[in-house]
Amino acid sequence: MILEGRPTRSIRRTEDGKGAVILDQRKLPWEIKWVELRDVDAAAVAIREMWTRGAPMIGATAAYGYAMALAVDPGDASLAAAYDKLFETRPTAINLRWALDAVRAAVADLPESERAQAAFARADEICDEDAELCRSIGEHGLELFKQLHAKNPDRPLNILTHCNAGWLATVDYGTATAPIYLAHDAGIPVHVWVDETRPRNQGALLTAFELRNHGVPHTVIADNAGGLLMMKGQVDAVVVGTDRVTRNGDVCNKIGTYLKALAAHDNDVPFYVALPYTTFDPNTESGADIPIEERSAEELTRLSGPLANGEIGTVRVTDSPAANPAFDVTPARLVTGYITERGVLDRI
């Protein structure tokens, strides 16, 4: 995807092949800063403190972190300890477990001397596959967008999205954004309503940044504006990403997604969830069983951005106690379809 100085993907190996390079998303869009992760602790910090985020990127970063741990100590104890260290970083996105399981399975039966190299190779594969999965999601979503646009061919196709499920959150293309990018590139006039996504503003900061870079027309809206826009017929479809979809089709995603699904349902606006198979959790029956991350109240009580002196800092919004559940669950009954690498599915 397009970003000056971005060498094609959101994560890659360092020049010497022993570490990984990611964008520090905490600084975006004010500062574009690539950082090198050189050991498992750095990878764990980057995931836990949200230097990087988004379900597939969490998985990809963890896979490289796991390989870095095995490069230092390839023994069985290290294999178990590094898994736990990375697994404990963030609880909700299932891609984390998927990626760690994939790397562990690739190396567990190998002699210790071969483990690190095999782990790096598996992490590379995970990244290649993620980019390919997202491209396929984009292609299937493109066909869907063509059908949606044909219903109102005289105006742009208006898509509403929540949080950031773009190329920053994946290795490339994004999940929810892949159909948007492919449609824009195919000449379909797409306009995106970008939920700001309080409290951390991933929509206003990250999704808007991506769309600007790609030249996709978009408008940032307050999270509470979507219902009115849907009621006025100004939204053709809602498309979101997800951190985990359970066996019954429930969708866990950034807090506020459920309210969008309710508003979409009430206004006959189709509500789509874009995901690769790595975000499907067949071992969890329903959304009620997903651990929901409770994030720091400071995300809510402080806003961050450039201050008058040009430095990136925070300002207070309230001094009252605040609660900050980071994700919610949209019941499967509110989902019109799942845009996957296998096609657009009515049920998962």
Ligand X SMILES: CSC[C@@H](O)[C@@H](O)C(=O)COP(=O)(O)O
Binding positions are 53-55, 90, 202, 253-254
Q: How far apart are CA 81 and CA 83, in angstroms?
A: 5
CB of 231 to ligand X, least distance (A): 24
Q: Which residue is nearest to ligand X (CB)?
A: 241
Q: Does 53 bind ligand X (CB under 6 A)?
A: yes
Q: How far apart are CA 59 and CA 130, in angstroms?
A: 10
Q: Does 170 bind ligand X (CB under 6 A)?
A: yes
Distance in angstroms between the alpha carbons of the first and the last residue of the chain: 28
Integer-rounded Cα Rg, in Å, for the chain is 20
Q: How far apart are CA 95 and CA 57, in angstroms?
A: 8
Residue of 93, 183, 238, 263 interacting with ligand X (CB under 6 A) = 93
Q: Does 192 bind ligand X (CB under 6 A)?
A: no
CB of 327 to ligand X, least distance (A): 6
Three-state SS at 200: coil
Please identify, among the stretches 37-45, 121-129, 168-176, 308-316, the one whose residues bind ligand X according to the rule CB under 6 A: 168-176
Please identify, among the stretches 119-127, 148-156, 169-177, 210-218, the one whose residues bind ligand X according to the rule CB under 6 A: 169-177
CA atoms within 13 A on the CB side of 183: 30
x/- letters, 145..164, toward ligand X (CB under 6 A): ------------------x-
Q: What angle do CA 207, 200, 244 make, to 5 degrees?
A: 70
Please, which residue, 136 or 170, has the CB nearer to ligand X? 170
Please identify, among the stretches 139-147, 181-189, 235-243, 328-336, the one whose residues bind ligand X according to the rule CB under 6 A: 235-243
Token pair listed for 105 = 């399975």
**Contacts to ligand X from residues 318-337, by CB under 6 A:** 326
Q: How far apart are CA 44 and CA 50, in angstroms?
A: 10
Q: Does 202 bind ligand X (CB under 6 A)?
A: yes
Q: Does 1 bind ligand X (CB under 6 A)?
A: no
Burial call 111-124: b when 16+ CB within 10 Å, e when fewer: eeeebbbbbbebbb
Please identify, among the stretches 78-86, 117-125, 167-175, 315-323, the one whose residues bind ligand X according to the rule CB under 6 A: 167-175
If residue 221 lies in a helix (H) or strand (E), which one and from where to where?
strand 218-221
Token pair listed for 226 = 């979507």
243 in active site: yes
Q: Does 175 bind ligand X (CB under 6 A)?
A: yes
Token pair listed for 204 = 């206003």
Catalytic residue IDs: 243
Residues near ligand X (CB under 6 A) are 53-56, 93, 163, 165, 169-170, 175, 202, 241-243, 253-254, 326
